[in-house]
A and B are shown apart, each in its own frame.
Chain A
Amino acid sequence: DQQVKQNSPSLSVQEGRISILNCDYTNSMFDYFLWYKKYPAEGPTFLISISSIKDKNEDGRFTVFLNKSAKHLSLHIVPSQPGDSAVYFCAASGGTGKLIFGQGTTLQVKP
C-alpha cells in the first residue's frame, strides 16, 4: 500500500525554465510534507517542507504547494539550473516520526 506516490519517474527541462515535480498522497492523517534531493552515492538532503496548515512555502528558487483537498503537493524550481539535476523524493509524516517516501523523480536540467 503506497501512501505517497510520485507518478513521474523522470523529468527533463531546459536550464532557466521551471521544473514542476508532483506528489500525491492517500493518508489524510499526514500533516507535514518534505522534499529531499539526492545525488548518486549520497544521502537524501533536506530541501524544503510544508505544514498542512499552509498551502505554500517558498525558499529562494524552491516553492512547495500543498492542495489538501486533492491530497497533492508539488515542488517548483525556478529558474532550473544544471546543478539541480538529481533525484527528488517527496515524503510525508503524521507526527509519529515515521517518514513515508515516494519513489522519487529524476530531474535532468539541460544546459
Chain B
Amino acid sequence: DTAVSQTPKYLVTQMGNDKSIKCEQNLGHDTMYWYKQDSKKFLKIMFSYNNKELIINETVPNRFSPKSPDKAHLNLHINSLELGDSAVYFCASSQDPGPSTDTQYFGPGTRLTVL
C-alpha cells in the first residue's frame, strides 16, 4: 500500500514540450513537496504546499508550476522543457511544515530525460 506515489516513473520527451508529473499521498498529511535531484545527486527543494496553499517557492524558473487540486495531490507542470531540466523529481509529504520535528516521506521519484 504505497504512501506517496508518483506517475510516471520515467518520462522521456523533446525540448520545448510541456509535461506534467503527478503525485498522490494517502498518509493524510497536510503538506506536500517537490524536490529535484540533479546530476550531482544533490536533493533540493523546489516547492511546498500546505492545505493547497503555496508556502515554499525556491528560485525555480517560472516554467515550473505546481498545482494542488486537494491536499492529497500535488502535481508539477513544466512548460517549454529544456535540456537542464533532466533530473529525478521526488514528491514528499509531511504532517505539518511548522514544527522542526516533522518528518518528510518521499515518493519513488520520476526520472525526466529531455532530448
Give the total of B residues in contact with A, Cβ under 8 Å: 29
> Which of A31, A46, A104 lies in contact with B105, CB distance below 8 A?
A46
B99 located at the interface, meaning its Cβ lies under 8 Å from any Cβ of chain A in the complex: yes
Query: In the complex, how many residue pairs between chain A and chain B have their CB atoms under 8 Å apart?
Result: 63
A95 and B40 within 8 A (CB): no
Q: How far is the CA of A27 from the CA of B92 in the complex (A)?
A: 23
Interface range, A side: 20 to 34
A99 and B106 within 8 A (CB): no
Give the residues from 5 to 47 in chain A that come closer than 8 angstroms, CB to CB, to chain B.
31-32, 34, 36, 41-46
A51 located at the interface, meaning its Cβ lies under 8 Å from any Cβ of chain B in the complex: yes
Once A93-B100, A94-B100, A95-B98 are accepted as A-B contacts, the answer to whether A101 and B42 lie under 8 Å apart by CB is yes
Q: How far is the CA of A32 from the CA of B97 in the complex (A)?
A: 13
